[in-house]
Structure 1
Amino acid sequence: MKKALIASVIASSFAFAANATDYSATLTGASDYLFNGISQTGEDPAIQGSFDIGFDNGFYVGTWASNVDFGSGDDANAEWDFYAGYSQDFADGWNYDLMINQYTYVGESDYNYPEVSAAITAPTDTTLRVWYTWKQFGQSNLDHTYVQLHQGYAIDEIWGLEAAYTYSKALSGPGADTYWYGKDHYSNWLVGVTASYQGFDFALNWQDTDIDNAKEADGRIFFSVSRTFDFK
């Protein structure tokens, strides 16, 4: 039932694309694909892209893709996500965002899973977001959540600073107690600088986790450059 509901919401949202007012596409080159501090590309670079459609009433839909590499013997070679959501300002400088996301993995469909999230952003460019899934990385009945606090700071029109802390927790289900490299939770963080110049967005930061027995979760420098194209 949950899976059917998510598929219905995303499909219905794309069906209304003809009434959209904003279209955008983003291309990104990154030194790694880090998902909550853990490499999804075997510590190799990633090429990523997205396409988003926005509506005047606050609804939006989109899709995002990246190459992945989970090691030898694993056939997954790309992640392709589909999402739909609703975002609104509700006070001076305040915003909330509700989203449904479907992760799909080309070559390893057993990994596919849905996710829901909710976020609130304050006038100080502080965002708190909570994610939840009942099928973490394709494992049936494995409830999982993670919470992130992200802080941005604009120095001027070009330069900015950012910091984030994320706590991931396997709540219940098969293997929950040892899901994250022998434990049911872990933390990760990042701190770095951002820049926007001539239509390009840059990020340079340090990311690390408290996982000490997995190379893909070791601390590292991360760099990315993105370009967004808007279509009206």
Structure 2
Amino acid sequence: MASVKLPALAGDTPTSGWVGNAGAVSDYLFRGLSQTNRKPAVQAGIEFDHARGWHVGGWGSTVSWLSDASTSAAPTSSRVELDVYGGYRGSFATERSYDLGAYRYQYPGSYPTGFTLPNTSEIYAALAWKSLSLKYSYALTHLFGYADSEHSGYLDLTWNQPLAPGAGSSMRTSVTSKWRTSPVPRTAPGSSASRAASAGSGRRRWATTTPARAARFATMHTATTSVAPRWC
């Protein structure tokens, strides 16, 4: 991954300021699933951090998991993900911190009639100690286009560590679990919406409508490890 960091308006002291990033990645992975069918993506974001801990930001990336599922009978044009988020970060002990906030994932584009829109709202809470972090996300809406998936939860335990002292790259290992509270979704197997959900890559890979697949989503665990360069 190549990235460039925009200069913050503040120094190293805890004062308010802007920070941004832009980059190109070989594959956009989100919660262990490719959002670009294992192809490159272009990404950029900007965030305002207040000295008292409040933060708000926006982020965007190219995606293909929706357009890849498009058919002549159920055309889908969305190829961009746009996120807005905000929250509060703080610390309560040495090398211990917390983060509380909300995310909105937006996928502009055209969708077939009756399609469950992928736009998603989540709230989250995270705790961190040194290189370990634990984050819980809770869906307030349908989860990325999966019907009847409100109140789904996602738990992410992450370890992020430099490969060697002073090295220019780091290793990130995540163990995650996702589940949903409702049983089989309303979408009937074989419908156009069902075929779009089951055909796509990325988030919809587990969003099919058969009872067996729904049970798999009810409690699903993944583990991923990635090595990425760190650019100063």
Tell whether the structures are fold-level matches, with TM greater than 0.5: yes
Q: In the alignment, which residue of structure 2 is the partner of 1:196?
A: 230
Q: Alpha-carbon deviation of 1:140?
A: 5.5
8 A contact 1:153–1:161 mirrored in 2: yes
Please give the alpha-carbon distance, in whole angstroms, between the structure 1 residues aligned to 2:185 and 2:153. 15
CA-to-aligned-CA distance 1:20-59 (integer Å, 9 cap, x gap): 8210111121111112122212222111110000000100
CA-to-aligned-CA distance 1:94-127 (integer Å, 9 cap, x gap): 000001011110105822121011100012x100
* Structure 1 residue 106 corresponds to structure 2 residue 140: no
Please give the alpha-carbon distance, in whole angstroms, between the structure 1 residues aligned to 2:170 and 2:119. 35
Give percent identity, aligned residues only: 25
Counterpart amino acid of 2:104?
Q
* Structure 1 residue 157 corresponds to structure 2 residue 191: no
Q: 1:137 aligns with which of 133, 139, 144?
A: 144
CA-to-aligned-CA distance 1:146-196 (integer Å, 9 cap, x gap): 1011012232122433211111112226619x9644122322222233432
Q: Which TM-score applies when normalising by structure 2?
A: 0.69
Counterpart amino acid of 1:187?
H
* Structure 1 residue 36 corresponds to structure 2 residue 46: no
Q: Alpha-carbon deviation of 1:141?
A: 5.9
Q: In the alignment, which residue of structure 1 is the partner of 2:156?
A: 148
Counterpart amino acid of 1:132?
Y
Structure 1, unaligned runs of 5 or more:
1-19, 200-232
* Structure 1 residue 187 corresponds to structure 2 residue 224: no
| 1:56 aligned counterpart, secondary structure | coil
Q: In the alignment, which residue of structure 1 is the partner of 2:58?
A: 63
Distance 1:62 1:174, change over 3 A: farther
Please give the alpha-carbon distance, in whole angstroms, between the structure 2 residues aligned to 1:168 and 1:149. 12
Distance 1:186 1:56, change over 3 A: same
Which of structure 1's runs of 4+ aligned residues deviate more than 4 A? Answer: none
Distance 1:192 1:67, change over 3 A: closer
Please give the alpha-carbon distance, in whole angstroms, between the structure 1 residues aligned to 2:76 and 2:37. 12
Q: Which TM-score applies when normalising by structure 1?
A: 0.69
Q: In the alignment, which residue of structure 2 is the partner of 1:168?
A: 178
Name the Cα RMSD after superposition. Answer: 2.3
Q: In the alignment, which residue of structure 1 is the partner of 2:22?
A: 27
Q: 2:132 aligns with which of 86, 111, 126?
A: 126
